[in-house]
Amino acid sequence: MRLMFVGPPGAGKGTQAVRIAAKYNIPHISTGDMLREEIKGGTELGKQAKSYIDAGELVPDEVIIEMVKERISKPDATSGFLLDGFPRTRQQAEALGTFAVLDAVININVPDDKLIHRICGRRICADCGATYHESMLEDPKRCPKCGGSLYVRDDDKVEIVKQRLSVYKKKTQPLIEYYTDLSILHDVVGSGGIDDITDTITDVLEQK
C-alpha cells in the first residue's frame, strides 16, 4: 500500500502515520523527521535545511525530492510506504508521480484554533521520539514512557507556527484538489480521540 497523509501542521499526521504504518507493516517516511536527523548529524543537507525550517518556510523542492526518491528506492519500501509531510508543493507532487504511484491520500482536517493549541503545547522525547501535549503530562520535562527529557521543537513557537500555517494554505492546500482530481483523496476529521481517528483511517483504507 502506497499512502500519503496531508494536513496542516498539528493535524496529527505524525501520530496517525506511526500507527497506520505499523498496522500495514510499511515504513513511515516523514520528511520532517529525516531533515531533523540531518540537522542532528550536522550534514551539509541539514545545515542547508535548518534556516528554512527555523523560519517556518519550506526547504527547496529539489533537495526534498531527491531525498524522498532515494528513501523510496530502499528495499523496505518496495511493497509500500506511508509518506508524511511529502509532497508539500505541486512541484513535489508532480515529481513523486514520476517515480511512485499512490493508492490513497488521507487528508486530515482540524480547525485552525485547535492546531495552534496543539502545536504550541507539543513536547517531544529526546530519547524515544514520543510526542505529548503538555496538558497530558504530570512532569512537563520527563517522558512518561522512557524517562527521557522532553523538548519543544524550535519551529513550534507561536509566531513560526503561524507562518507554517500560512505556508500550508498557500503551497500545500492546493494538493487537495490535485489528488481529488486523481480520485484518491479521502477526507478524515482529525479533531476526535486518537484511537477513533486511527479507526476511521483504517475503515477508509479497508473500503478502498
64 binds ligand AMP (CB under 6 A): yes
Residue 127 CB neighbours (<10 A): 13
Which position among 29, 86, 96, 161 is part of the footprint of ligand AMP (CB under 6 A)? 86
7 binds ligand AMP (CB under 6 A): no
Which position among 7, 8, 85, 190 is part of the footprint of ligand AMP (CB under 6 A)? 85
Residue 172 CB neighbours (<10 A): 22
In sequence order, what are the residues at sequence separation of 6 or more whose Cβ sits closer than 8 angstroms to the Cβ of residue 57? 163, 167
Output the smallest distance, CB 206 to ligand AMP, in A: 26
Binding range to ligand AMP, per CB under 6 A, among 21-29, 53-61, 127-135, 196-204 = 53-61
x-or-dash string of contact with ligand AMP, 30-49, rule CB under 6 A: -xx--x--------------
Q: Which three cell numbers stand for residue 131?
A: 510526542
153 catalytic residue (yes or no): yes
In the chain, which ranges are continuous DSSP H helix? Answer: 13-24, 31-40, 44-54, 61-72, 90-99, 112-120, 158-167, 174-181, 194-207
59 binds ligand AMP (CB under 6 A): yes
Contact between 131 and 29 (Cβ < 8 Å): no
13 catalytic residue (yes or no): yes
Which position among 53, 106, 124, 201 is part of the footprint of ligand AMP (CB under 6 A)? 53
4 binds ligand AMP (CB under 6 A): no
Locus of grid cell 542532528: 40
Please pick, among 69, 71, 90, 153, the residue that the annotation labels catalytic: 153
123 catalytic residue (yes or no): no
Pairwise CA distance, residues 71 & 91, whole Å: 18
Looking at the annotation, which residues are catalytic? 13, 88, 122, 153, 164
